[in-house]
Amino acid sequence: MKNLLFPFLLFTTTVLNAQNPSLPLIPQPVSVQRGSGTYTLPKAAIIAYDGAEAGRVAEILTQKMSLPTGYAIKAQSGKTGAIQLKLNAAPNAQLGKEGYTLNVSPKGVVIAANDPAGLFYGAQTLLQLLPKEIEGKAVTQTAWIIPTVSITDYPRFGWRGVMLDVSRNFFPKEDVKRYIDQLARLKYNTFHWHLTDDNGWRIEIKALPKLTSVGAWRVPRSGHFGDRADPKPGEAATDGGFYTQDDIREIVRYAQERHVTIVPEIDVPGHSMAALAAYPELSCTKQAVTVNPGTPFSEWYGNGTFKMKVENTLNPSDENVYTFLDQVFTEVAALFPSPYIHVGGDECYKGYWAQDPGCQELMKKLNIRHVEDLQGYFMNRVEKILTAKGKKFLGWDEILEGGISPTATVMSWRGVKGGIEAAHLGHDVVMTPTTFAYLDYNQGEPTIDPPIYAGLRVSKSYSFEPVPEGVEAKYILGGQGNLWTEQIPNLRYAEYMSYPRVWALSEVYWSPKEAKNWEAFVPRLEAHFDRADVAGINYSKAVYDAIVKTTAKDGKLTLALESEVPGLDLFYTTDDTMPDDHSLKYAQPVVLPDGPITLRVVSYRSGKPIGHLITLKRAELERRAGQ
């Protein structure tokens, strides 16, 4: 009876929690029980802890709370304090390694967990229970009051990640640490670090110094990535940067203190132009190339196929390539404690392989007929290198092509199809599909934000279910969001593109599936807008913009407007006037007038404008009707 009752209580509690906007917690805990009254933080608060590992959590919490409160908060070993961090003497099986209990009474705060990671996550929840001013960087005069509450919480998935691409644009060490800190506050535990690609090699490899002296630098260029001019003869490569091995160690330690595992990615055999700029002899043609500064070096045909205009692929038939990779992975493995090393494997153009005599000879030796199968050979060689260094092999879903070992882990990005196939073959899978998790996509109306090739609204990210029907859940390690940075030159804009979608995905990966409720999530999201303002974190407000759709029939255009946020009023004009709350209010689909009209739409809430002004000419309205 007890086992039958628990799922019902869990469902009831989480649904009630999701409908209670008074606690703006993201991600939503498993169970929240509100009490009566509050606890006021004393000016000389002690954060008590038991054991050195709990002490590190106490120190981080002390640093976070001391500055905005101005209080003399102290972390010290012991069993009495305003805030107590306790490691369970007898492990609570329900909590696992990352779960915690958080109890706030009028007498104080107690966070308990089996493991320091759980204490850390409990501390993040505690910070969210405090007033938003706790996110500030200066002393603020406010009432430091915490609501009484009893929380039991633990994650749904073990892999909760975000990827940051630092090849397309280099992010300084302090920016990377700041971004990791933001992710840890949301209970992400994996930072996937895309360190190498065509546009820059960002990690020092002492045995191969040209990877950074040459491969980390490109000629300076401005303008839209992918449309830039080619390097000129003799032009100095001055744009870029890389992380020294001491930088890497510092960032890894910083992440470990916040219970974040860094998974490094060395992208091979394609996406290797920066490596080939340093060592062109590792290619098939052995021709000199330059680090790409964002020029159009490939042709895409709209069906997922493409052709490279410049070689960016390692030669799978050259033994020197595997010696090179062994040197690279020897040093990478020593720097990163992560059990995984990500080896890319995506978008590998095989055209140069098909024309190379060495590759043709290797195909005959291996008795394979299709050049695509050489990638399977290459990846199996790479996996053996990683295995010899005690690391697990992880790659994008293209690694399934040509065959991989049963121990390989697959990151499914081209939708969920690759993940489903991999799971059915018995592979562990991380779900990170473009359709839900690509953070470089436009967040709202595509005519407002800088252009990119696809869109992804926060409500769509929130709707993501990482375990597809018909797949055994045990094979789905979890999921992550991916931030490719072709159009993202700095951390400020990386934040804008990350949030609020990273907030939404944190709930997808941490919270119970039954607790998800978009309408209940919105007020918590808006509370985090306020907290981000205090913290100086950038974010997008595209969630407030109208969604403009059209259909065409019998030569007439019909307009349909929607909004992600419930309760918005949408006003529009087609008479070349600026819309406000006295304009036509949208209520149902409307047939638009003929002629060269311009549609203008604006959103209001409670009588005040809240979204961007959207302006669309007839040609764009007709284009949308044809989609």
Q: How confident is the model at residue 406 (pLDDT cuts 50, 70, 90)?
A: confident
Backbone angles phi, psi at 121, to 5 degrees: -70, -35
Q: How confident is the model at residue 304 (pLDDT cuts 50, 70, 90)?
A: confident
Is 80 exceeded by the pLDDT of residue 19?
no
Overall average pLDDT of the 292-301 stretch: 92
Structure tokens at 246: 């001491």
Domain's final residue, options 94, 129, 153: 153
pLDDT number for residue 403: 77
Annotated catalytic, 271?
yes
pLDDT tens for each residue of 201-222:
999 999 999 999 999 999 999 9
Cβ pair 114, 45 in contact under 8 A: no
Does 294 lie in the same domain as 178?
yes
Overall average pLDDT of the 431-446 stretch: 97
Does 104 lie in the same domain as 252?
no
Cβ pair 431, 419 in contact under 8 A: yes
pLDDT tens for each residue of 255-271:
999 999 999 999 999 99
Domain's final residue, options 153, 187, 222: 153
What percentage of the chain carries pLDDT values higher than 90?
92
Does 19 lie in the same domain as 126?
yes
Domain holding 585: CATH number? 2.60.40
Overall average pLDDT of the 537-559 stretch: 96
Is 90 exceeded by the pLDDT of residue 223?
yes
Amino acid letter, 579 = P
Domain's final residue, options 119, 153, 187: 153
Which alpha helices (H) appear in 186-301, and where do they start and end?
A: 210-213, 245-257, 273-278
Count of H helices and E strands in the chain? 18, 29
Does 169 lie in the same domain as 148?
no
Number of domains in the chain: 3
pLDDT number for residue 285: 97
Region of residue 415 (phi > 0: left; psi between -120 and 50: alpha; otherwise: beta): left
In a domain, 426, yes or no: no
In a domain, 411, yes or no: no
- What does DSSP say about strands 476-483 and 429-431: parallel, antiparallel, or unpaired? parallel
pLDDT number for residue 566: 95
Cβ pair 613, 598 in contact under 8 A: no
| Torsion sign over Cα 7, 12, 15, 21 | negative
Helices 373-388 and 357-366 pack at an angle, to 10 degrees, of 80
Does 205 lie in the same domain as 149?
no
Overall average pLDDT of the 473-492 stretch: 98
In a domain, 539, yes or no: no
Does 111 lie in the same domain as 239?
no
Does 65 lie in the same domain as 46?
yes
In a domain, 462, yes or no: no
Annotated catalytic, 197?
yes
Long-range contacts of the stretch 555-561 (C-beta < 8 A, 24+)? 556/591, 556/592, 556/594, 557/591, 557/592, 557/618, 557/621, 557/622, 557/625, 558/589, 558/590, 558/591, 558/592, 559/589, 559/590, 559/591, 559/592, 559/599, 559/621, 560/589, 561/586, 561/601
Structure tokens at 21: 């906007």
* Rounded alpha-carbon distances, angstroms, from residue 317 to 198, 323, 359, 553: 21, 12, 5, 57
Overall average pLDDT of the 536-543 stretch: 98
pLDDT number for residue 3: 43
Does 349 lie in the same domain as 224?
yes
In a domain, 136, yes or no: yes
Catalytic, out of 347, 372, 373, 514: 347
Q: What is the mean pLDDT of the chain?
A: 94
Cβ pair 600, 614 in contact under 8 A: yes
Does 190 lie in the same domain as 110?
no
Backbone angles phi, psi at 196, to 5 degrees: -140, 145
Q: Extract the runs of DSSP E, i.e. beta strands, from 362-466.
A: 392-396, 409-412, 429-431
In a domain, 47, yes or no: yes
Catalytic, out of 192, 194, 271, 342: 271
pLDDT number for residue 402: 74
* Rg of the chain taking only CA atoms, in angstroms: 26
Cβ pair 400, 411 in contact under 8 A: no
* Rounded alpha-carbon distances, angstroms, from residue 287 to 9, 276, 552: 66, 9, 52
Is 80 exceeded by the pLDDT of residue 6?
no
Q: Which domain holds residue 319?
A: 159-391+479-491+504-511
**434 closest CA partner among 472, 459, 406, 460:** 460
Domain holding 20: CATH number? 3.30.379.10
Amino acid letter, 208 = L
pLDDT number for residue 18: 40
pLDDT number for residue 41: 97
Q: How confident is the model at residue 17 (pLDDT cuts 50, 70, 90)?
A: very low
Does 206 lie in the same domain as 177?
yes
The predicted model scores a pTM of 0.95
**412 closest CA partner among 398, 391, 425:** 398
Does 373 lie in the same domain as 264?
yes
In a domain, 402, yes or no: no
pLDDT tens for each residue of 116-145:
999 999 999 999 999 999 999 999 999 999
Q: How confident is the model at residue 377 (pLDDT cuts 50, 70, 90)?
A: very high
pLDDT tens for each residue of 489-504:
999 999 999 999 999 9
Overall average pLDDT of the 393-411 stretch: 89
Is 80 exceeded by the pLDDT of residue 22?
no
In a domain, 536, yes or no: no
Q: Extract the runs of DSSP E, i.e. beta strands, from 419-470.
A: 429-431
Can you name the residues that pair with 553 across neighbouring β-strands?
A: 556
Is 90 exceeded by the pLDDT of residue 4?
no
Is 90 exceeded by the pLDDT of residue 13?
no
Cβ pair 228, 294 in contact under 8 A: yes
Tell me how far apart the terminal alpha carbons of the chain are, to the nearest angstrom.
53
Does 181 lie in the same domain as 76?
no
Catalytic, out of 197, 198, 204, 440: 197
Is 80 exceeded by the pLDDT of residue 8?
no
